[in-house]
Amino acid sequence: PSYFGNMTQLQKLHLNNNSFHGKIPQSLGRCQYLLDLWIDTNRLSGTIPQEILQIPSLGYIDLSDNLLTGHFPEEVGKLELLVGLGASNNRLSGQIPQAIGGCLSMEFLYMQGNSFEGAIPDIRRLVSLKKVDLSNNKLSGHIPRYLANFPLLRNLNLSMNKFEGTLPTTGVFRNATAFSVFGNKNLCGGIIEMQLKPCILQASPRKRKPLSRRKKVASGIGIGIASLLLCIIVASLCWLMKRRKKNNASDSNQLDSTTLGMFHEKVSYKELHSATSGFSSTNLIGSGNFGDVFKGLLGLENNLVAVKVLNLLKHGATKSFMAECETFKSIRHRNLVRLITVCSSLDSKGNEFRALVYEFMPKGSLDMWLHPEDVERGDGHSRSLKHAEKLNIAIDVASALEYLHVHCHDPVVHCDVKPSNILLDDDLTAHVSDFGLVRLLYKFDRESFLNKFSSAGLRGTIGYAAPEYGMGGQPSIHGDVYSFGILLLEMFTGKKPTDEAFAGDYNLHSYTKSVLSGSTSSGGSNTIDEWLKLVLQLGIRCSEEYQRDRMQMAEAVRELFSIRSKFFSSEMTTAKQSPQNVLHSYPQELILNADMHTI
């Protein structure tokens, strides 16, 4: 039915093995969050609408065993997160689209039982392929030799086509049970089990007559001239490369004025080298995706700063530098870490050097305060955070995320909200760090973004990353809301989302629900304070499994302010009573008594 297109938040549509007939509705293209589209084994007819192949989040699409006709749309190349594609046993014709070679995440390709013709498209970049079936078509030409280089390919069926030429004998073609090519009459060679006819070798060319002395002299002169020209070309290239390196060096100190123009005083490599004692390991305070962070004393006043040195050997590091510079031109908020200046120069060896200088946060990360037992260095904190301080930090983080999501010119997605990315100043005011990097990489370099986001690294951190990221979903503000909800639950339960007690569907979210449920039903000594109950319920609503069930960050900010105003205003304005004295029940005490397996 066409009204499925109105379900714009739909993630999975499984209508296979029915008797649906008619055309596939174009309106499905409006379901921009769709991950699975399984409409195989029906009686659907007509052509494949281009609109459904423009849903960027699609991971699996199966159109097999229908009555579909026409060409397969080239728009399939836009599905860069596509893992499985099935279009077998239809009436499709024409050539398999060349654009399919752009589906870099693809693992399964089933297009057998159609009338496709022509050569196999160039799919040499689809190195993740595990199963491919192109049998029972009208495909022709040579079988690509690069298929033998696919490390994960376990099943390949090319039977009943019109392929010709030599059959490879390496890779998947070494195992007779892993591939099939029967019904291709013009194939030859291959492993002995295939019992194909031997390939006819071309006759060796006739021996040439020895060259005359005059021809030998002419050949020698020609070779000499060619060698001289080659030397001139190589020398010219070396000169051009040196000149280009010098130009890059001069440009690197003054990148694009629109990008670095906001920084009135840009520091030199020498200054940063001196400020960090030669980037000493004793000053190393952290590492990120694209480089290391050092503590240093900068300027005449010896201001304490954090220096992030980019590792330019990592793909995407230079673009991440540009991205962070670009975003700080328009983003200002008291709860975002402040970028003081930048360095774009050459190091002492003449190599390109990029660094960002941030305001130093003397109280470290929130992770160090929540879990001091995990801190290996001797700079742990002697006390725990008070309830009111935790609530203030939660409000700071929520305010920063609301600003990024709502009040920036373009919404900025953090993608990795977790305690170690929340930094605290002397007043325990929270500052969100490392924000917007994934979204900005997407803007600056789409290929780099997709490669990184397809790996485990930039999907976020296990325990904090939204469930849809694990299924190939793209970054969204809803993912940040989920991570914030988990952060909130961790702050006020004392439990990490990666606690060894959690497994399968039993996680920090369901655990907190069980605690709240037990408190409501049992009453008495296990009763949770009203303010804490409201905070935990807020964390649960933010960390719901499905995006549609999560609250907006602006709503979370309003509720947190309301809780602080209602329960903490008097304690924050008088020293007679501290929140720790008034708010007696701490969730860890209740958690120790809770049934760990009841929900």
Protein fold of 2-194: 3.80.10
Give the rounded distance of the alpha carbon of 154 from its chain centre: 27
Range 545-551 contact pairs with CB under 8 angstroms and sequence separation of 24 or more: 545/467, 545/509, 546/11, 547/9, 547/33, 547/466, 547/468, 547/476, 547/478, 548/9, 550/478, 550/481, 550/482, 550/485, 551/481
Helix, strand, coil shares of the chain, percent, nearest 5, are 40, 15, 45
Model pLDDT, residue 452: 45
**Pairwise CA distance, residues 422 & 444, whole Å:** 25
Annotated active-site residue 416? The verdict is yes
Instruction: Give the pLDDT score at 99.
Output: 92
Residue whose C-alpha is closest to residue 88's, from 37, 54, 135:
135
Binned average pLDDT, 10 residues per bin, the chain of 599 residues: 76 87 89 89 92 89 93 90 92 93 91 94 91 93 92 90 92 88 89 85 54 69 82 82 57 45 66 92 80 88 88 70 67 87 85 88 91 62 84 96 85 86 93 66 47 47 86 82 96 92 90 84 64 95 93 94 88 42 34 30
Q: CA-CA distance, 582 to 568, in Å (whole number)?
A: 10
pLDDT value at position 407? Answer: 86
Residue ranges at the known binding site: 308
Task: Name residues whose C-beta falls within 8 Å of residue 590's C-beta, 6 or more positions apart in sequence.
Answer: 515, 519, 526, 528
User: Residue 19: what pLDDT?
Assistant: 86
CATH of 242-360 among 3.30.200.20, 3.90.550.10, 2.40.128.30, 3.90.1170.50: 3.30.200.20
* Residue 555 tokens, joined: 């709503």
In 190-327, alpha helices (H): 213-253, 257-260, 269-275, 317-327
What is the distance between the alpha carbons of residues 376 and 104, in angstroms, rounded to a whole number?
Answer: 41
DSSP state letter for 406? I
Per CATH, the homologous superfamily of domain 362-599 is: Transferase(Phosphotransferase) domain 1 (1.10.510.10)
CA gap 588, 585 in Å, rounded: 9
Q: Where is the binding site for ATP, in residues? A: 308
- Domain boundaries, given as residue ranges, for the chain: 2-194, 242-360, 362-599
Of the candidates 40, 416, 434, 480, the residue annotated as catalytic is: 416
Model-level pTM greater than 0.75?
Answer: no
Q: What single-letter DSSP state applies at residue 365?
A: B
